[in-house]
Amino acid sequence: MRSINRAVLVFALLGVAARAQVTPPPAAPAVPASPYVGSEVCGTCHEDIAKAFGKTPHHIADGTDKKRGFDGRACESCHGPGAKHAASADAADIRNPGKLGAAAIDRICLTCHVNQPTQIGRLQSSHAKDQVACTTCHTIHATGSEVLVVRKTDAINKQCEGCHLTVAAQFQQPFHHKLPEGAMNCVDCHNPHGSMRQAMTQSFGANEPGCLNCHGDKRGPFTFEHGPVRFGGCSTCHVAHGSANPRMLDRPQVQQLCLECHSNLPAVNSTRTIGVVPPAFHNCTVCHQKIHGSYVDRNLLK
């Protein structure tokens, strides 16, 4: 009798252990099953929040914007069905995204925002991988000086520099884009939501770098391309945040830059190979003026 009981107990424990091994870790605290109750009911107790919410873009999910399926229940689009909480007024009965992990928050936001073009590089984004959630940059129930989305140049730079101190310092180099002067912002070159390009850099026309949005003369297509411009990108030779070198080049002298790829051995039966250039004592770009590509000259001279 006793030994049978023990066997049952052992099996039960084994069962628990086995289950513990296969159960995936819970993604988010379970929200107790509860029907929807509607935003109006939430507003009876959370008056200030409801009033402020009426002035944010999200309120259209409550009426005008019927296609997302939260007509009259916008609060519950992020907080989950809330009838139980509305009855109990207990914090444990409602989902507070502020208490969830980054991935769980993002999932809530992306139920509606997933197909927006600016979110296309989401999976490659370092922000998603490093737990920087949507709500790190977007304050849903903004009060006072907070906003749902920063749009002004200074505000954007301040938000980004808050975490990226090293980058802010790079813009203090003698040759830099006029970002600290307020003429441009991080989002001119980066998509904070991620991108298909490296370092979350902006892209236009599907795969052109954001640089070309302002430096259109470097776009081409050129009849005679310079390999690294086309295939390596602008950062092969330029440091976009700022550099101690003129033209934000990554070497103090133009020659040094060119000679990292071209050797200055005398030309032997000019084979049009990368290793053979005539000896030169002038700055290479005095002659090779069309260094980003030429419409007429194979040697990028004009």
Binding to ligand HEC (CB under 6 A) within 234-263 occurs at: 234-238, 240-241, 247-249, 254-255, 257-262
From residue 75 to residue 94, the character string flagging contacts with ligand HEC as x (rule: CB under 6 A) and all else as - is xxxxx--x--xx--x-x--x
Residue type, 65: D
**300 contacts ligand HEC (rule: CB under 6 A):** yes
**104 contacts ligand HEC (rule: CB under 6 A):** no
From residue 35 to residue 54, the character string flagging contacts with ligand HEC as x (rule: CB under 6 A) and all else as - is --x-x-xxxxxx--xx--x-
Cβ atoms within 10 Å of 96's Cβ, excluding its own:
11
| Binding to ligand HEC, residues 138-197 (CB under 6 A) | 138-141, 148-151, 156-157, 159-164, 167-168, 177-179, 184, 186-190, 192-193
For residue 88, what are its two tokens?
């109990």
Tabulate helix, strand, coil % of the chain (nearest 5): 45, 5, 50
Q: How far is the CB of 40 from ligand HEC (least distance, A)?
A: 9
Considering the complex, state which of residue 19 and residue 282 has its C-beta at the smaller distance from ligand HEC.
282
**26 contacts ligand HEC (rule: CB under 6 A):** no
Q: How far is the CB of 196 from ligand HEC (least distance, A)?
A: 12
d(CA 210, CA 235): 12
94 within 8 A of 80, measured Cβ to Cβ? yes
What phi and psi values does residue 145 have, to the nearest 5 degrees?
-85, -5
102 within 8 A of 133, measured Cβ to Cβ? yes
For residue 266, what are its two tokens?
């005398």
**223 contacts ligand HEC (rule: CB under 6 A):** no
